[in-house]
């Protein structure tokens, strides 16, 4: 059985964001605390005993406290069910949580060579001693089994693939430690339980949906997809920033070329938005935008949502 727990559904900054007084952040602090959401990450397991994180958000510590499946096993002084962390990009909201995993438990980080180069270039990540935290490169279009702590296969097959996107924001205009060319900065993942053949897709950052991506996703039982903004110019229109969704490497939910239209009619079993920015009106239950998304078969998950395939 393939189990997925949504540890966090929000984009960078979370909901509410520490310095944001937008209507959604304000209401999340006051009348509607149920809107509060931590930064995007999921946990995956096939045996309910060993878990793999997809990205390590800055809110990881809070997410682990809130998720009993990820607590140390009863009777053990030091233990974690987390066997590995798979990184799909090098953004702060995908890697900063690694710094909260520095207390000596062994696990493996799986990431593209470009993202591993970012970790290597930032010496603060050396708090994860290479003696117990292995860094394993993964490559586009090459499936891998992340493996259990004793070296045996986990039975989970993960296929990374390139999706259109951008390098980490803080590297814009800078020399990328992994080189400025080629794919690898933004990965999608196909995660497959080999025993049952059940699988799902994780695509938390995506700038546009190509015909190739549509063909890939068609018929999938479950897709987690980039839900950063409702409208491409949402941050500008709200006076919150000067970047468009596209400028940040994120497709909008709405519009002719948005995610809802692009993934319509693909016979996907469950469509779940992830990485939702606090400016996105689809976060608000009952909003016209939320209704449009739900009518099109999309779900905006609360933190802690568990999906079993
Ligand atoms: Zn806000």
The pLDDT tens digits of the residues spanning 153-205 come to 999 999 999 998 877 778 877 888 888 777 778 999 999 999 999 999 999 99
What is the 186 CA–ligand 1 centroid distance (Å)? 25
State the pLDDT at residue 164. 86
What is the 252 CA–ligand 1 centroid distance (Å)? 17
pLDDT in tens, 36-81: 999 999 999 999 999 999 999 999 999 999 999 999 999 999 999 9
pLDDT of 243 above 90: no
State the pLDDT at residue 187. 95
> Mean pLDDT, to the nearest integer, of 130-139?
95
What is the 97 CA–ligand 1 centroid distance (Å)? 22
What is the 112 CA–ligand 1 centroid distance (Å)? 31
What is the 25 CA–ligand 1 centroid distance (Å)? 4
State the pLDDT at residue 15. 98
What is the 6 CA–ligand 1 centroid distance (Å)? 21
Residues measured by CB to lie within 5 Å of ligand 1, the ion: 20, 22, 25, 278
The pLDDT confidence band at residue 248, using thresholds 50, 70 and 90, is confident
State the pLDDT at residue 304. 98
What is the 238 CA–ligand 1 centroid distance (Å)? 10
What is the 14 CA–ligand 1 centroid distance (Å)? 9
Cβ atoms of 13 and 21 closer than 8 Å: no
What is the 21 CA–ligand 1 centroid distance (Å)? 6
pLDDT in tens, 231-241: 988 888 888 88
What is the 35 CA–ligand 1 centroid distance (Å)? 11
pLDDT of 206 above 80: yes
């Amino acid at each position: 059985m393939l189990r997925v727990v949504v540890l966090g559904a929000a984009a960078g900054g979370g909901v509410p964001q520490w310095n944001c007084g937008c209507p959604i952040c304000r209401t999340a602090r006051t009348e509607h605390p149920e809107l509060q959401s931590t930064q995007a990450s999921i946990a995956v397991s096939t045996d309910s005993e060993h878990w793999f994180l997809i990205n390590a958000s800055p809110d990881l510590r809070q997410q682990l406290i809130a998720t009993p499946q990820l607590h140390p096993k009863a009777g053990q002084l030091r233990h974690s069910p987390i066997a590995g962390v798979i990184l799909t990009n090098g953004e702060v909201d995908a890697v900063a949580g690694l710094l909260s995993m520095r207390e000596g438990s062994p696990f493996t980080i799986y990431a593209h060579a470009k993202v591993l180069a970012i970790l290597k270039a930032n010496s603060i990540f050396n708090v994860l001693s290479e003696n117990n935290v292995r860094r394993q490169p993964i490559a586009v279009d090459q499936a891998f089994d992340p493996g259990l702590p004793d070296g045996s296969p986990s039975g989970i097959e993960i296929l990374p693939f390139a999706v259109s996107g951008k390098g980490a924001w803080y590297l814009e205009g800078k020399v990328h430690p992994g080189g400025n060319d080629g794919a690898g900065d933004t990965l999608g993942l196909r995660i497959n339980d080999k025993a049952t053949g059940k699988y799902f897709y994780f695509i938390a950052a995506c700038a546009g949906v190509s015909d190739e991506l549509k063909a890939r996703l068609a018929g999938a039982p479950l897709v987690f997809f980039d839900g950063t903004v409702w409208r491409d110019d949402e941050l500008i229109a709200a006076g919150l920033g000067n970047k468009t969704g596209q400028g940040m490497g994120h497709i909008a939910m709405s519009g002719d070329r948005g995610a809802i239209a692009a993934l319509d009619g693909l016979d996907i079993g469950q469509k779940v938005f992830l990485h939702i920015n606090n400016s996105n009106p689809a976060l608000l239950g009952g909003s016209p935008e939320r209704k449009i998304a739900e009518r099109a078969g999309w779900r905006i998950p609360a933190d802690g949502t568990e999906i079993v395939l």
